[in-house]
Amino acid sequence: MRVSTKGRYAIRFMLDLALHNTGEPVRIKDVSGRQGISDKYLEQVVSILNKAGFVRSIRGPQGGYVLTRDPKDYTMGQILRLTEGDMVPVACLADDINQCDRADNCVTLHFWKKLDAAISSVIDNTTLADLVEEEQGMMANNYVI
């Protein structure tokens, strides 16, 4: 399983909004510059986030985007599933009922289920607020005289 640029950029965009939450909307151009992401590609990613209600667009010369909820209310799993689809490591785990003909005799199925549980545990228990805290801790440790 590999997370595409769409998923990675969605997380970076949401993190940037959370870090620069001053009450004023954040412009895509500003996020693009800070994150080194193309404006055009970022607009496509933001469109998905906006349609899902994760961010809100504010129009006008001072417009931009704001988070619709507190950073603690977004998990990485929510953002990744929105942009990537399901996060299962193998297709046979994508449905509630395993459709694979070999499911009853598949020796590796237990391994795939454990891997899926591990992935879900990490992405569903890591919030945007956790990443904000980690980023701020990294910045505090970058003290230079």
User: At 78, which CATH number?
Assistant: 1.10.10.10
For 101-137, write each residue's pLDDT tens digit. 888 888 888 899 999 999 999 999 999 999 999 998 8
Q: Could you give the angle at which helices 109-124 and 76-84 cross, rounded to 10 degrees?
A: 120
For 66-93, write each residue's pLDDT tens digit. 999 999 999 999 999 999 999 999 888 8
Percentage of the chain exceeding pLDDT 70: 97
**Burial environment of residue 126 by CB neighbours within 10 A (0 to 12, 13 to 18, 19 or more):** middle
CA-based angle 4:101:103, to the nearest 5?
75
The structural domain count of the chain equals: 1
Token pair, residue 108, equals 């590796």
Assigned domain for 145 exists? no
Enclosing domain of residue 13:
5-140
Query: According to the model, what pLDDT value does residue 94 have?
Result: 86
Assigned domain for 26 exists? yes
Assigned domain for 20 exists? yes
Assigned domain for 68 exists? yes
Residue corresponding to tokens 């001053």: 22
Compute the distance between CA of residue 142 and CA of residue 7 in angstroms, rounded to an integer: 27
Indicate if the pLDDT at residue 139 is higher than 80.
Answer: no
Assigned domain for 90 exists? yes
How confident is the model over 7-28, as a mean pLDDT?
95
Indicate if the pLDDT at residue 1 is higher than 80.
Answer: no
Assigned domain for 19 exists? yes
Query: According to the model, what pLDDT value does residue 99 have?
Result: 79
Confidence tier at 145 by pLDDT (50, 70, 90): low
